[in-house]
Amino acid sequence: MLPILIPVLIGTIIIAVILGKPYWRDYKRKKVSAVPFAKHWRKILQQRMPYFRKMPADLQLQLKQHIQIFLSEKNFVGCNGVVINDEIKVTIAAQACLLLLNRKTDYYPKLRTILVYPRAFAKQQQSRSSDGVHFSQKVAMSGESWGYGKIVLSWQDTLDGAYVPDDGHNVVIHEFAHQLDQEDGLADGAPILGKDQSYACWADVFSDQFEQLKHHAHSRTHSIFDYYGATNPAEFFAVASEVFFEKSKQLKHEHPKLYQQLSLYYRVDPSLW
C-alpha cells in the first residue's frame, strides 16, 4: 500500500506547488509594492524622466509600484565596464513600466535579464542586397529585444531617450514594446489585445499606417514616424509606441485611428498629460 501512496503523495505536492505559484507570486508583489518608494529613487525619477511630473497623481503612484515590482524580479547585468547602480535600474524600469499602466500585467513574464552597455554596441547582421546576394556586416545598435529572456540596451541612448521626452525616440519604450509583442510567441506587430479590442480593426489600422510609412520611407518624405518602422510590422508597432508616448498630441491629430488603437491597448491617454 505504501509504495502506491508515495507516488500519489508526490503528485499531489507537485500539483499543489503548481497551483499555488500564482498566489505566492501575487502575495510577494503586493508586499513589494506596499513598501514606501525610496526617496533617492524618487529623485532619479524626477531627474531622468521629465514627463513623470506631468502624469496624473494616480498614474505616478501606479508607476512607482510597478517599478518596485519590476526591480524585484528582473536581473541587470553591466557590460563593457558598466557598473549597475540604482540610477540605471530606476531609469530603465520607469520607462519600461510606463507601458504597463492601467492594465493587468505579469511584468514581461519572459524577460529575465537586462544587459546594459555604455553606448551603442556592434552586432554582426546578415543582410541581402537588391540582387539577392547575402552578406554580413557590423551594425551599431542602441537596443535589442530577444524573444526569450533578455533585452540589451545602450545606457547613453537610454539617457538620451529619457532626457528628451518629446522627440518620438525612446529606446526603452521601443524594446519593451517588442517584449509585449512577443508575449504570444510572435513578433508580428500584433500584441495580445484586451477584450474590448478587435484584432480585425487593429490589423486594418496598422496595415494602412505601415504601408503609408513604407511609402514615406521610399520617397524620403516627412513622417512623424522613424523610417526604421517601415522595416516590418513588428518594428512599426515599436516605433508607433515611442511616438504614442512622446508625441501624443501630434499623433492624435495626424493619425487619430492609430492613436485610438494604441490608447485602447495601453489604457492611457498621454495627450492629456
188-273: in CATH 3.40.390.10 = yes
How far from chain centre, in Å, is Cα 100? Answer: 8
* CA–CA dist 245, 262 (Å, integer): 10
* CA–CA dist 152, 62 (Å, integer): 25
- Give the model's pLDDT for residue 108: 97
Cross-strand pairs, 76? 114
Would you kindly state where each structural domain of the chain is located, as residue ranges? 23-167, 188-273
**If DSSP codes are grouped into helix, strand and coil, which group holds residue 31?**
helix
* CA–CA dist 204, 225 (Å, integer): 18
- Give the model's pLDDT for residue 148: 82
Query: In tens digits, what is the pLDDT along the chain, a chain of 273 residues?
Result: 556 656 544 544 445 334 455 788 999 999 999 999 999 999 999 999 888 888 999 999 999 999 999 999 999 999 999 999 999 999 999 999 999 999 989 999 999 999 999 999 877 666 554 555 554 555 788 999 987 889 999 999 999 998 888 999 999 999 999 999 999 988 999 999 999 999 999 999 999 999 999 999 999 999 999 999 999 999 999 999 999 999 999 999 999 999 999 999 999 999 999
Contact 264, 197 (CB under 8 A): yes
Output the nine-digit C-alpha cell for 258: 492609430
Residue 199 CB burial class (10 angstroms; 0-12, 13-18, ≥19): exposed
CA atoms within 13 A on the CB side of 15: 6
- Give the model's pLDDT for residue 7: 54
23-167: in CATH 1.10.472.150 = yes
- Give the model's pLDDT for residue 4: 61
Of 263, 77, 103, residue with least CA distance to 183? 103
- Give the model's pLDDT for residue 88: 98
- Give the model's pLDDT for residue 141: 86
What would you measure as the largest C-alpha separation in the chain, in angstroms? Answer: 79
> DSSP state, 137?
E
Radius of gyration of the chain (CA): 21
- Give the model's pLDDT for residue 244: 98
- Give the model's pLDDT for residue 53: 86
Structure pTM?
0.87
**If DSSP codes are grouped into helix, strand and coil, which group holds residue 185?**
coil
- Give the model's pLDDT for residue 138: 59
Strand-pair category, 134-141 with 121-128:
antiparallel
